[in-house]
Structures are given as C-alpha cells and as structure tokens.
Structure 1
Amino acid sequence: MTKSLEMPDCNYPKEAVLVRPGAATPRHSLYLSNLDDQPFLRFSIRYLYLYRTAVGVEALKSSLSTVLVDYYPLVGRLRASADDRGKLEVDCGEQGALFAEGHLDLTAAEFLEGSGRPNRSWRKLLYRVEAQSFLDVPPLVVQVIHLSCGGMLLCTAISHCLCDGIGTAQFLHAWAQATAKPNADPSVVVVPPPPFHSRRVLTPRSPPKIAFPHPEFSAPREPGLNVLEQVLLSPQPLAPVSVTFAPSQILRLKKQCVPSFKCTSFEVLAWHVWRCWVRSLDLPPALRVRLLFSTNVRRRLDPELPHGYYGNGFILGCAEARVDRLVRSSARCGVKLVQQAKERVCDGYVRSVVDLLEERRGRKPDLSASLVISQWSKLGLEDLDFGGGRPLHMGPLASEIYCLFLPVVGDLHAFTVLVSVPQGCAERLEHLLRGEETNGGSWWHQK
C-alpha cells in the first residue's frame, strides 16, 4: 500500500487574522435553501494544495480581500433563522475570513512521497478554530504553510452550507486569478462567472409535494445490517486506501460493458468501487446496499440554475442492490444501476427532494448500508494557479467520511479513488480495486 506521511507540528510565528472585503458590501441575512442547510452538510469542505514555489502572503491576503467583495457571504456567519425554526441563514456582516500563516520543517518532495494517503495528523495543516459549535466557525478559513524548501502548502476550509464543490471551485479560481493576474484583460483571460447569491430559486412549494420515492432518506432495517454496522463500527481504526486509475485502466473497465453499451468514466468507476467495497467487507448476501453519489442539478432544473450559482446545486443519486446480486452482476448490469440512479434526477425529482426536506426538517440520508461518493474531479480544482505555477498535489485533509474521486494533477482523464475502511479490510480492498482478485485474472496491466 502507498505510504502515509505523519505530519510534524506547525510553527505559528504570528496570530491568525481576519480578512475582510476591500470595499463595502451589503449587510443583510442570506436565505439558505433546503439543499444548503441539510444537517449532513454542516461541515467544511477542506482542500489541501502543495506548490513548489510560495506566493507572497500579503499578495494572497490582498487578492482575497478583493475577491471577498463579490463573495461577501463567505465573511459572514451562520446562525439559526429567527423566522423559520430549524433553518440556517447567513448573517452577512463582514465579520471576516480567518487567515493563518505557519511554518513546517518539511520539503515539497517529502510531502509528495507520502501524499497518497492522508491520516489524522494532516489536520494539523489547517488552523484549529476554537468554537462552541459549527455555527461559530467562520465559513472561510485559510492557512498558508511555508515549507523548508521554499514551497508552500495552502489549506482552505469552506462551509458546505454555503457552497458545493462547483461553488468552491468557482470561488477559488476567482481568488487565484485575482492573485496571479490582478490586471488581466477579461477579453483575453477566461474569467470565472460572477457569483449568484440568492438561494430563493430553490424555495419549496406551498404546500410541499413529495411526488417521488426517495430511498436515500429511508432507513429500513435490513437482514444482516447489524453485521455491516459491526464491521464499520469495529474498534479497528479506519485505514485510507488510495488507487489511481489511468485512462487506459478505465478503458479496460468500460470494455467489460460491451457490446453496444456506452457509459461515462464516472459511471463505470462508481460501479467498480461500490462492488469492490462490498466484497472487501464480506457482507451478508441478502443485505441491500446502496451507492449514494453527488449529482449536479444545475442543468436538470427547469429553468436551469443561474450562471454563477455557487450554493449547493446537487442532490444524492441512489442505486440499490442486494449484496449477492451486486457481487455476481456483470459490469453492464452494475453500471446500468448507476445510470438509472442518474436518470431519475429531473426537475420534478429535485423539487420533490426540496419539499421533503421542508416537510421533514432535520431529515438525513440513510448511510447505514451505503457507500457515498463525492466527486472532486472534473471541477478544475487541480488547475489552481496563484502565480507560482499549478499545484504539485491537490487533495483532502482527511478521508474518513466519504469515498472521494480526486483529480490527478497533469492528467485530466485519470482519477484517484480515496476511501477509508476498517484496517483489516484495507489490503483486500486495494487488491480488488486493482483487479487482482477477479475470476478472469487481473485486467490492471492487460494490453
């Protein structure tokens, strides 16, 4: 298995500071949609970037201050709505984004060598905010870490209640461009779209109308579910498994779906990872398991969400199967389950989810027998250039919660799969992902 690097402690020569917008911004309460303030999204999306060459901290602060004029809700604070019990809103009052600067006795080469699998020590790379609750944490926290070789680590934590993956990428690209090319001519440079703030486009209907079944929110007690819970809640520590799939390996997976069956790289890889995950855990044959994955709904709504919408514009697609059938299924049948889950997501389905969350406040997706995939690839996150070149590495600070499909720096069509399982299952899962225990032999190195 790939090496995991234990992080030393950061040295902080200065106190963290608050960065505020460089010009006056509107003061008001920002309504959050039912997709924004779901209980299972009340955390921060944490990105980590490694750069060979450091960028000046004052330049980063100055450009951040400039960009926050447009993205001013990110310097507000989350709070409970006084008008709508159980909902959150953003108090847009220019409270500020938290910016920390540290030093680490580590080189970029040393980090790269152990960058395949994050571990709990990596959390040291993001400034720890002392807060009573999630509501007290600033929606945007940034830490710049100077490395002993002259490179830098850049870590960001962005509240998932305000942004989804597409939204965070939009903001980060705007910040990077403001740093690298502050006087760029918009007619020559591709400029990120201006942010669209209002979430009222996803207001629930009155009365709510739940017109579709939503299995991702149900929690039936299936035979054998206690076995899965025992495996996932065992005293064994979770171990991250990281496998990179080159385009040639994804193509070999797709060839298992022939004849005459088209599928995307995400669809075939999602099926493969789901099936391998189930096999590695050695689950009861009759147990029904789910695959939950983020599905962008921006263009599936009628009308479409406005250009520049950076709030949560996704819902969870849900595929289901019994363990024995999933394990024995052909690639064609397994991928079809993923495709059908995607095809169900239409305007009416999304509105039904919004209304379900209105009628049943506090409802969470059922994760008891589910693998959850969050796709960070295809968002351009690996292209973030603040003026010192593109990153050497892009990834998360932790991997315990969801399975992540990560971009591969320098290869647009490759994916890195990062997923955590109990330590006793990790080696088998890696072998399965690499195709080393298939009935027909390994396809991983086939020509």
Structure 2
Amino acid sequence: MFQFPEIPDCVLPNKPTLIPPLSPTPNHSLYLSNLDDQKFLRFSIKYLLLYRKSPDVGSLKRSLSVALVGYYPLAGRLRVSPVNEEKLEVDCNGEGALFAEAVLDLTVEEFKGICEKPNKSWRKLLYRTEGQSFLSIPPLVVQVTHLKCGGSILCLGICHCLCDGIGSAQFLHAWADICKHPNQTPSSNPCWERHLLKPRNPLKIEYPHIEFTQTQYQHDLTTPFDLDQVLKPETLVPTSHTFHHDDIFSLKQLCNLSLKCTSFEVLSAHVWSSWAKAMCPPSHLKIKLLFSVNIRKTMRPNLPQGYYGNGFVLGCAETTVKELVHGNLSHIVRLIQRAKSRLTDDYVKSMVDYLGENRVKPDLSLSLVISQWTRLGMERVDFGEGMALFMGPLCSEIYCIFFPVYGDSCGVTVLMSVPESGVESFGYWMKNFREREMEGEGKKKSDIFMPATCTAHECHQICAHMAPPLDFATT
C-alpha cells in the first residue's frame, strides 16, 4: 500500500478577499467559443509555483488589480447563456478574483523533501470555495502560502473555459511584470476575440472526428465488452519520471535514422507504449492517445497576438495494444505525427462546427491524455524576488502532464497517475529504453511485467483506470 506524504494543514489568519479590477471595466456578457465551452473543460487548471523568497503580499494584490483591468473577464463570473442553456457565457460584473493568504509550518527545503510529486494533501494550498456548482466558483482563485523560512508557495486555479495553458501563462507573466515594474506600461495586450472561432452558418462538418467517437472493441470475438460493468477503481498513485537531454536523445536514436521527430513526439510515443505495457489490456483492443495542439498559427487567418482563450484542439492517434506493446518506436511516433498533420485550418473549423451540433466530450474510455506544459515559460515567472524553484500542477489525477525541469532547459518531467498495481511495471518500462532494442532483435523478455493474457475481471479493472474520471466540480 502506497503511503502518501502529508503536508501540515495551512493556517489562514484572515478570510479570503475579492480583488476587483483597479479601474472600471466593461459591464457586459461575453461569448465563449465552442472550443472554450466544451463540457470536459469545465474545471480549473491548478498551478503551483514555489519561491525561495516571498513577494510582498500588498504588491501582489495591487498588481493583480491592475492586471485584471486588461483581463477583466477573469474578474467576472460564468453563467448559463439565456439564449442557449447548453452554452456558458461570462458575466463581466467586476466582482473580482478570490485571494487567500495562508501560513504553513514548513521550509522550502522541507516541502521539496517530503513532496517529490503532487498528492492529495497539496489541495490545502489552494482555497476551496463553498460554491454548490462549477458556476459559483470564481474564474480566478489565488492562494499565497508563507513558509517559515521566508519562502512561499503561490497556487492559482484558472477556469479552463476562459484560458488554456498558453493563455494562463500569458496572464501570469503580465501580472508578474506589473508587480516587478509597477511604473511601466504593461507589455502584453490581452485579446478576447472569441468570435473568430464561431461555427459557420450553415455548419460544415467535413471530417470524422474520432477524438469524440467511442472506440469500438470487444473482449473476445463473441462477447461485447461492457464498460458499464467496470469495477471500483484501485487507488491511483501519482508517478513522475524525469528525462534529461541525453535520455531524449537516446529515445530518438531508437527510431529509424530517416525519421525526424520532436522531443514531444518521441517522448509521447514512449509514454504511450510504456503505459500500455504496464496496464496489459488484451492485445486486440484499440486505445487512443489524445494530446493538446496549439492552433493559434494553424487558423487562417491566425488568431491574434495576445489571444488567451482556448486556442488548442486535441490530436488523436489510435492503434491496437499489440502495436503499442510489440511495435517499434518509429511506428508509434509516425502515428502521432499523422495525428498532428490532420489538424489543418479546415479540420479545426469542421471540429468547431461539429461541437456546435454535438455537445460531446472526448472519448476517454480507452485513452491516454497528454498535456504539454514545457513551453509555457511559467517557471520563469518572477514577481520581483526571483524565478520559481519549481513549477507544476497542484493535482495529478486528471491526465499525463509534461512539465519543465528546474535548471535543465531540455529536461522534461512526466507526471501521471496509474493504478497502484501498475506503478512498478510502468516505472520499469519508462526507465528501460533498451528493452526496445531487444524487441527489435526478437529476444524473449521476462513476462513479470508483461502478462501474456488478461482475464475478463482484470480487463474490467484495467479499463476502469485507463482514463481516470475528470473532477469538473473542484477548484
């Protein structure tokens, strides 16, 4: 049984306050695009930044109020559209962001020492509102937690319907720049412009959008596999594995010499394959890899500079477990590359139209979801007392995240939760790259980590864990 290190409870000396924009902002409602308003994005992205020295809280509050003048939708509230009850909109009422201040009886080094990866006790580091629904949660929640050594932990919850990762980073950098240089004009120009992603009239759905369609599969040739019969999931255990430049170079060396690929492509292929080997579902099942792809420069015309809405879509690669387990790395990389190449301007517009007609979520029944945070630059956010010592997610139950490594510009840490019974196996396959060379030579491997068969009972358990349920209601 895995034991999760617990951090002590935070002490809040005062009640949280609302930080409104410093000056009056437009009082109106704003449209959310079909990419913003997807049901699977109705949660908050939660970030954690650890600082050696705590910025002045008064300066943080003042600069936040200035930043919210340009980013005033973050000071509003979500509500159901009066025109279409299936859609949300932003009520720009200037109510403000929620700001909490807390104290934690740990030093920076103690926090880093006992918490190598996120666990459920980290939730104490972001104030939980008492709202009864997702709509009652402010789009922006901030908590600054002071450590006894003079350091601090800054946690943010930003509504995913208003910002994607790039948009969140843009806002955070703008806030930090204002805090660090209060007398300078803000350098960023936030751009809303969600109408650029409105569906066409009439709708023109030109492609099969497999990222939203459920995979068809059977347990055997005669018996349908029924996901409704899945058993209660095991404990999900957060795991993290760091890949430095040499590790990623070694992975690329395992591909065909003629294949050019990015670090993201080869690492995603390796993670997808390792995950399939550790979960050991039946070899004939088809499983998907879903991964976020920035479309700001894909659209024609491009989305404007400063666009901080959801400017991404999900790429979708699909293959059988057999191919992931026994196929070579080059083949898996090509699947990912083909999935990326499909995401043209026409494809994205077709997807926007598809979402206008079908209020659906991505197929997570047999899917691994990867989100890349390595290029957001959040680790460089500096409020005037130096850059963060660590930047990462507050929680790890939702999907696999690639985030940067402190002090290594080429490094990537892979964070994801897997069923407790699969932790050792997943770690083995993630670390042992050279097993792939043995596969190519046809050498026999021990089946300690890769059972040849899987019972119906085990198969139900596995599929219950392959895509952990999203927690839409929490901040």
C-alpha distance 228-49 of structure 1, shift in aligned 2 (>3 A): farther
Say if 1:232 and 1:422, in contact at 8 Å, map to a contact too: no
1:69 counterpart SS class: helix
Q: C-alpha distance in 2, partners of 1:21/1:369?
A: 43
Deviation per CA, 1:399-443: give whole Å up to 9, x if none: 01100001112222110000101101011101111116715479x
1:432 aligned partner: 429
Q: C-alpha distance in 1, partners of 2:231/2:403?
A: 26
**Unpaired segments ≥5 residues, structure 1:** 443-447
C-alpha distance 413-228 of structure 1, shift in aligned 2 (>3 A): farther
Pairs within 5 Å for 1:96-245: 96-184=96-184, 191=187, 193-224=188-219, 234-245=232-243
Say if 1:3 and 1:117, in contact at 8 Å, map to a contact too: no
Say if 1:231 and 1:422, in contact at 8 Å, map to a contact too: no
2:64 aligned partner: 64
2:383 aligned partner: 386
Say if 1:32 and 1:90, in contact at 8 Å, map to a contact too: yes
Superposed CA RMSD: 2.1
C-alpha distance 77-313 of structure 1, shift in aligned 2 (>3 A): same
Task: Report the alpha carbon displacement of residue 200 of structure 1 after superposing the two structures with TM.
Answer: 0.2
Greater mean alpha carbon deviation, residues 287-296 or residues 322-331: 322-331
Q: C-alpha distance in 1, partners of 2:325/2:356?
A: 37
Task: Report the alpha carbon displacement of residue 183 of structure 1 after superposing the two structures with TM.
Answer: 2.6
Say if 1:99 and 1:142, in contact at 8 Å, map to a contact too: yes
2:50 counterpart SS class: strand
C-alpha distance 367-200 of structure 1, shift in aligned 2 (>3 A): same
Deviation per CA, 1:135-181: give whole Å up to 9, x if none: 00000000000001110000000000000000000000000111112
Q: C-alpha distance in 1, partners of 2:227/2:430?
A: 22
Deviation per CA, 1:233-285: give whole Å up to 9, x if none: 64420001100100110000011113111100000000000000010001100
C-alpha distance 381-50 of structure 1, shift in aligned 2 (>3 A): same
With the length of structure 1 as denominator, give the TM-score of the two structures.
0.94
2:435 counterpart SS class: coil
C-alpha distance 151-229 of structure 1, shift in aligned 2 (>3 A): farther
C-alpha distance 396-26 of structure 1, shift in aligned 2 (>3 A): same
1:337 aligned partner: 335
Say if 2:215 and 2:287, in contact at 8 Å, map to a contact too: no
Task: Report the alpha carbon displacement of residue 331 of structure 1 after superposing the two structures with TM.
Answer: 1.3
Greater mean alpha carbon deviation, residues 175-184 or residues 39-48: 175-184
1:5 aligned partner: 5
1:428 counterpart SS class: helix
Pairs within 5 Å for 1:418-429: 418-429=415-426
Deviation per CA, 1:311-351: give whole Å up to 9, x if none: 00000000000100121111111100000000000100000
C-alpha distance 370-233 of structure 1, shift in aligned 2 (>3 A): farther
1:445 aligned partner: none
Say if 2:215 and 2:286, in contact at 8 Å, map to a contact too: no
1:348 aligned partner: 346
Deviation per CA, 1:40-72: give whole Å up to 9, x if none: 000000000110101111110000001100000
Pairs within 5 Å for 1:268-347: 268-347=266-345
C-alpha distance 180-441 of structure 1, shift in aligned 2 (>3 A): farther
1:24 aligned partner: 24
What letter matches 1:171 in structure 2? F
C-alpha distance 230-355 of structure 1, shift in aligned 2 (>3 A): closer
Task: Report the alpha carbon displacement of residue 133 of structure 1 after superposing the two structures with TM.
Answer: 0.4
C-alpha distance 252-181 of structure 1, shift in aligned 2 (>3 A): same
Which of these residues, 413, 416, 421, is aligned with residue 413 of structure 2?
416
Q: How many residues align?
A: 436
Deviation per CA, 1:359-378: give whole Å up to 9, x if none: 112x0000000000011111
Say if 2:101 and 2:143, in contact at 8 Å, map to a contact too: yes
What letter matches 1:300 in structure 2? T
1:398 counterpart SS class: coil
C-alpha distance 249-3 of structure 1, shift in aligned 2 (>3 A): farther
1:379 counterpart SS class: coil
Which of these residues, 357, 360, 369, is aligned with residue 359 of structure 1?
357
Q: C-alpha distance in 2, partners of 1:86/1:350?
A: 21
2:333 counterpart SS class: helix
2:73 counterpart SS class: helix
2:432 counterpart SS class: coil
Q: C-alpha distance in 1, partners of 2:423/2:365?
A: 19
Say if 1:232 and 1:421, in contact at 8 Å, map to a contact too: no
What letter matches 2:140 in structure 1? L
Q: C-alpha distance in 1, partners of 2:384/2:180?
A: 4
What letter matches 2:209 in structure 1? H
1:351 counterpart SS class: helix
1:405 aligns with 2:430: no
Task: Report the alpha carbon displacement of residue 107 of structure 1 after superposing the two structures with TM.
Answer: 0.8
Greater mean alpha carbon deviation, residues 109-118 or residues 148-157: 109-118
1:216 counterpart SS class: coil
Deviation per CA, 1:185-214: give whole Å up to 9, x if none: 78xxxx3x3110120000001111110111
Q: C-alpha distance in 2, partners of 1:366/1:28?
A: 35
Task: Report the alpha carbon displacement of residue 7 of structure 1 after superposing the two structures with TM.
Answer: 1.5
Deviation per CA, 1:84-110: give whole Å up to 9, x if none: 231100000101100000000011001
Percent identity over the alignment?
54
C-alpha distance 78-424 of structure 1, shift in aligned 2 (>3 A): same
Say if 2:328 and 2:436, in contact at 8 Å, map to a contact too: no
With the length of structure 2 as denominator, give the TM-score of the two structures.
0.88
